Structures are given as C-alpha cells and as structure tokens.
Amino acid sequence: MSGKQVIYINGEFVDAADAKVSVYDHGLLYGDGVFEGIRAYNGRVFKLKEHIDRLYNAAKAIALDIPLSKEQMSEVVLESCRKNGIADGYIRLVVTRGVGDLGLSPMKCPKATVFCIAATITLYPQEMYDNGLKVMVSSVRRNKATIVDPQVKSLNYLNNILARIEADRTGAAEALMLTEDGLVAECSADNLFIVRNGEIWTPPIHLGILDGITRSTVIALAQENGYTVKEKEFTLFNAITAAECFLTGTAAELIAVTELDGKVIGSGRAGDVTKALLSAFQDHTKGNGAKI
Ligand code: PXG
C-alpha cells in the first residue's frame, strides 16, 4: 500500500481516520446488514461479479435496498483498490441498514450505509499449507436455513464467533460446525471438503451453509481436472476416516485439515488431491478476475 489508506463510505473516499459510522447505525445496533470478503490477485479482483451478486442476493433476502447499482458497486471495489495501490489484497465490502432510531424496525432507516475497505492480507504461513490445520468440532450448531439462512452473509456472525471462541480455547485453527442433526456443515469462516476413495465430497448448500465462492471455484476446477465431486450429506465419521480433508475460503484459499476432532486425518500432511487443487486454484487466480 502506498501512502494513507482511503476508505469509500456513502459516496465518497475519505482518510481511514475519517471513515466513521454512526452509533445509531443498525448495522452496529442489531447486526442488520450484509458483507463480502473479496481477494485481489495480480491486479485483478477475483470473482467480483459473483461477490457482488451474492451481496445483492443477501440484501434482497433481508429486504435491504442498496442505493447503488451492481455496476456502481463493482466500480467502488475497483476504485478502492486503485486509490490504495492494491494489486494483491483483501477487500471488505459492507452494506448496513443505515442510521435509524433505537427501535428494531428498519422503517426508520431511510438509507443504507455502504463502505468498502481495500487492504493488504496477512496470509497463513506456508508451514500451515504443508502440515495442515487442526480443526475442532464445535458444540455450536450451524444455524438452520429456516432461521437466518447461512447463505445470507449477514453482519451477525455471533453463531460462528461462538464456535471460533471454542476453537481458540482449544488451540485449534478452525471450528467445524454440524447441523442440528449432526451432519457436517461448514467451519466458522470456511467450507469443508473431504476426499474418500478418490471422490471429493462437500456438504450441499441446502443443509444450511454459505454458498462459498471458493467452494464453487474449487468444485469446477476439480471437475475440469477429472475428479468426481459430490455435493452430499455426510457425517463426522465420514470426515475423520477420509483420506484427505481441506477447507476453502477467500482468505485461506484451500488448506489441508490434518487433525479433526483430535484424530489424525490421512497421512497427517497435506494430501495429493489437496495439493493438486491448491496449485490449480492458484494458477486460476493469477489470470482471472476484473482488471483493477
Ligand atoms: N463459510 C462461512 C461461514 C464464511 O463466512 C466461507 C464459508 C467461505 O466463503 P468464500 O465465498 O469466501 O469462499 C466464509 C467466508 C476471512 C473471513 O477473513 C471470511 C468470511 C467472513 C469473514 C472473514 O477469512 N467468510
């Protein structure tokens, strides 16, 4: 990053120190809003259209009107990168219900708050990609799609934060959350895949998980590379007895899980399928995306 960081907020770019949100903003008072975490690689914003579409779908699901067109919002993201000299980085795009009164009703919030932070990203150390992560199984269930659908990437992440607190307490890097029925759902900020008998399995979206953009990208790349990918329901037993297990997410990309629920997964090191897919993913991110 060169010079001072500038933040887009409600139609203008301001110094980071001046990028402020009101204490009456319902994003803060109630977690009423939606967000995206986006990566830039090599001067391009990766899967920008997919992130913008997911943001607008999430906003629609909570009846939140975004006061910008998708084209304008895409330009906000690209311009935030330009103004901050970001070629490789991490972008946080947030839309809140906006300023209202102390009541719950969004009726009193005339205009959504929109801000965009384009920053650099601290990557996991290479050692973690080789040796894999320790993941614990949280006692916190993933909230069901009949409550707030996990497809809504909302500003209320408390459920996942409770799971992450458990992980931190036990020294694990991530927390696996199960469904009410005990099926494997996803981690606090990552989707999960397993490799069994040469097939790649990942839980289906209808179980109540985030429709991860890295997840979709990895499914497509795996299929292009000749792997059989199944979106299917599976148990913790299936995961701990898998040959390989890995997580996907915008920040982590694709990272091996080598310990799950205190049990060693596969060889205890990143497996061949995981390594092949990470390499395919990294090749893909280099040359694809919206030019900054
Ligand atoms: N599941 C959940 C619950 C998430 O929050 C993912 C999966 C991965 O989705 P994408 O589209 O990124 O492949 C997420 C990602 C971070 C961070 O810094 C990530 C998320 C939220 C907050 C921070 O890694 N969401």
Nearest CA to ligand 1 atom 9: 212
Nearest CA to ligand 1 atom 7: 190
- Nearest atom in ligand 1 to 160's CA: 3
Question: Of 70, 153, 263, 286, which one is the catalytic site residue?
Answer: 153
Q: How far apart are CA 62 and CA 168, in angstroms?
A: 31
Q: What is the pLDDT of residues 225-262, one digit of tens each?
A: 999 999 999 999 999 999 999 999 999 999 999 999 99
CA-proximal residue: ligand 1, atom 17 (nearest) = 189
| Residue 286 annotated as catalytic | no
Instruction: Count the residues in the chain.
Output: 292
Please identify, by atom number, the ligand 1 atom nearest to the C-alpha of residue 188.
3
Look up residue 19 and give its two tokens.
Answer: 């990028």
The answer on pLDDT for 166 being more than 90 is yes
Query: What are phi and psi for residue 218, nearest 5 degrees?
Result: -70, -40
- HEC letters along 53-98: HHHHHHHHHCCCCCCCCHHHHHHHHHHHHHHCCCCCEEEEEEEECC
Tens-place pLDDT, residues 5-40: 999 999 999 999 999 999 999 999 999 999 999 999
Strand blocks (E) in the chain: 6-9, 12-15, 33-41, 44-45, 89-96, 113-119, 133-137, 174-178, 184-187, 191-196, 199-202, 228-231, 244-249, 253-260, 263-264, 290-291
Q: What is the mean pLDDT of the chain?
A: 96
Report the percent of the chain where pLDDT is more than 70: 99
Q: Of 139, 225, 148, 153, give the one whose Cα is nearest residue 191.
A: 153
Q: How confident is the model at residue 3 (pLDDT cuts 50, 70, 90)?
A: low
- pLDDT tens per residue across span 84-139: 999 999 999 999 999 999 999 999 999 999 999 999 988 888 899 999 999 999 99
What burial class does residue 211 get, using C-beta atoms within 10 Å of its C-beta: 0-12 exposed, 13-18 middle, 19+ buried?
middle
Tell how far the Cα of 108 is from the centroid of ligand 1, in angstroms: 30
Pocket of ligand 1 (CB under 6 A): 37, 160, 186, 189-191, 210, 212-215, 248-251
Instruction: Convert the pLDDT of each residue in 211-230 to its tens digit.
Output: 999 999 999 999 999 999 99
CA distances from 41 to 57, 84, 153, 228, 288 (A): 25, 14, 22, 28, 8
Determine the distance separating the centroid of ligand 1 and the alpha carbon of 225, expressed in angstroms: 25
